[in-house]
Structure 1
Amino acid sequence: MTPAEALLVLVAGLGAGTVNTIVGSGSLLTFPVLLALGYPPVVANVSNTVGLTPGSIGGALGYRRELAAQSARLLPLSIAAVLGGTAGGLLLLGLPPGAFRAVVPALVLLAALLMAIQPWLSRRMRARRTGPHPVRIGPVLLTAVFTVSVYGGYFGAAQGVLLLALLATALDEDLNLLNGLKNLLQALVNLVAAVLFTLTADVAWPPVALLALGSVAGGGLGAVLGRRVPAPVLRAVVVVVGTGVGVALLVT
C-alpha cells in the first residue's frame, strides 16, 4: 500500500469504529475501501472481519456493567452466537469464491436497507417490548440468534442492527441493556470468525493492522460524538455509501 492508501484504510477503520458505536454497520465503510484497493471480495471480507474485531471486543467490554445485570442469559445466547459465527465463517471458506462474489452486491444492498430502516425497527422494538407476552430464552430465540450469527460470520455488515432488533423484540428489557448484549454477541461472532480466518484464509495483514488501530480509536471517539452528532446524519452517510457500492458491484 502507498502512504495515501494506508491513511485511507486507517480513516475508514476510525469511521467504522465510530459508526459502530453510535448506529452500527461500520463495515459498509471499510469493506468498500478494501475492494477499491484491489483486494478480491473474499479477501476483503475476511480482512475486514479480522481488522474490526478488536473494536468489537472493546465495545463489548465497555458494557460490562450492563452485561453483569443479565448474566443468566449470557451463556446460552453466547453459545448460539459462537456456533452461528463459526458456521458462517466455514460457509464463506467452503463455498467457491465466485459464490461470494455473486451475492456480495445483494448483501451490501441488504445491509444498507437495514441501516435505512433502523428507526422503523426501533419503533417496532419498543412496541413489541411493551407487549404482555415477551419471549424469553428458548429454542426460538436461540435459533434466531444462531441464524443472525451465521449471517454475521459470512458477511458482518448490519449484523448488529439485526441482533438488536431481534433481542429487543424478544426480551422485555431496557434498550441500553440489550445494546450491551448485542455488542457481546457481535464481538463473539467476529472473534470466532476472525480466528477461523486467521488460521485458514488469505488475510491481508497490512490493512488489518490499520483497521484494528482505527476501529479501537473510533470506538472511544464514538462514545463522545454520539452525544453531539445526530445519528440520522451518520446513518445517511452509511446508507449512501452502501447503496452506491452495491449498485456499482451490480453493474461491474
Structure 2
Amino acid sequence: MDWLSAMSLLLGSVFANTLASLSGGGAGLLQFPLLLFLGLPFSVALATHKLASVALGLGAVVSHLKNRNIHSKVCLWIITFGSLGVVLGAHLILLIPELYAQRMLGVIILLLGVYSRLKTQLGHHEIATNRNLLGWCFGTVLIILIGIINGSLTAGSGLLVTLLLVRWFGYSYKQAVAMTMISVGLVWNALGGITILNTGVPVHWPWLPLLLLGSFIGGILGASLTHRLPNYIIKVCFEVVTLIVGLKLLI
C-alpha cells in the first residue's frame, strides 16, 4: 500500500470509529465501504473489519471505565444473551441473501432514527422502565435478535442496542452508549471476528495494524467526547448516524 492509501485508511478508520463511539454504533457502514473502495473483496473486507472493530470497543472501555458510567450487570446481560445471537448470525450470513437482509435492516434503523428525532425528550435523563421480570425477558429476545444482526451483517447492531437501552429500559443516551461500546464494541465484535475466522474467511493482515490503531484512537476520542457533551448532543449524533447508516444500507 502506498503512503496516500495508508493515510486514507488510518484517517478514515479514526473518523468512522470516533463517530461510532460517540453515537453507539455505525462504524461498519463507514469503515467497511472504505476497505471495499481500496480494493478488498467483500468477504475479506468483512472479516478484516470485524477484527479491527475489537479495538474500537477496547479504546472506548479505557475511557468509560474511568468515568464509572457503567451498569456492569446490564453489560453482562447484553454480553451473555447477545453472544448467542452473534455466533448464530455469523453462520446464517452464508444462507441469507445479503442485499435483502441489508435493505430490511436499513429500513429498521432509519425508522428508529426518525422515532428518536420525534421523541424530543427521549434519553435526556434516566427514567427506569420495564426493569421487571417480564421486561427483561422481552428485552432478552430482542438482544438475541440484535446479536444475530451483529454476527451476520457489517453494522447497525450497536445502534439497535443503544436505542433498546434508551427506549425500553429508560437509560440516558450517555449510559446506553457506554454500555453498548463495552458489550457490543468489544465483546460481540471479538466473538464475531473469531467466529468468522473459524468459517475460513481470509483476513487481509497487512492492513490490520492501521485499522486497529485507527479503531482504538477513535474509540478513545468518541468515548471522551461522550462524557464531555450533554445528552441532547449525543442524541443528535445518534440520529445523524442512524440516518446515514439507514440510507447507506438501502441505497
With the length of structure 1 as denominator, give the TM-score of the two structures: 0.77
* Contact 1:25-1:158 at 8 Å conserved across structures: yes
Among 177, 181, 187, the residue aligned to 1:183: 181
Alpha-carbon offset, residue 146 of structure 1: 0.8
Question: Structure 2: how far apart are the matches of 1:170 and 1:107?
Answer: 19
| Range with bigger deviation, 196-205 or 114-123 | 114-123
Alpha-carbon offset, residue 52 of structure 1: 1.6
Alpha-carbon offset, residue 243 of structure 1: 3.5
Question: What fraction of aligned residue pairs are identical, expressed as a percent?
Answer: 22
Aligned to 2:35: 34
> Is 1:53 paired with 2:49?
no
With the length of structure 2 as denominator, give the TM-score of the two structures: 0.77
Aligned length: 241
* Contact 1:84-1:146 at 8 Å conserved across structures: yes
In 2 relative to 1, CA 63–206 (structure 1 residues): closer, same or farther, beyond 3 Å? same
* Contact 1:13-1:52 at 8 Å conserved across structures: no
For residues 148-176 of structure 1, what are the alpha-carbon distances to aligned partners after superposition, in whole Å with 9 as ceiling and x for unaligned? 11101112422221101112223244443
Alpha-carbon offset, residue 135 of structure 1: 4.7
Instruction: Return 5+ residue gaps in structure 1 as ranges.
Output: 248-252
RMSD: 3.4
> Is 1:152 paired with 2:150?
yes
Instruction: Return 5+ residue gaps in structure 2 as ranges.
Output: none
Question: Structure 1: how far apart are the matches of 2:139 and 2:212?
Answer: 31
Question: Structure 2: how far apart are the matches of 1:191 and 1:205?
Answer: 16
Q: 5 Å matches for 1:1-252?
A: 1-23=1-23, 24-64=25-65, 65-67=68-70, 70-92=71-93, 94-95=94-95, 99-100=97-98, 103-104=101-102, 107=105, 111=109, 118-120=116-118, 123-124=121-122, 129=127, 134-135=131-132, 138-186=136-184, 187-199=186-198, 200-224=200-224, 227=228, 232=236, 236=240, 239=243, 243=247, 246-247=250-251
For residues 50-105 of structure 1, what are the alpha-carbon distances to aligned partners after superposition, in whole Å with 9 as ceiling and x for unaligned? 112111132134333233xx33444333211211111111222x338xx3356446
**2:69 is paired with a residue of what secondary structure?**
helix
**1:157 is paired with a residue of what secondary structure?**
coil
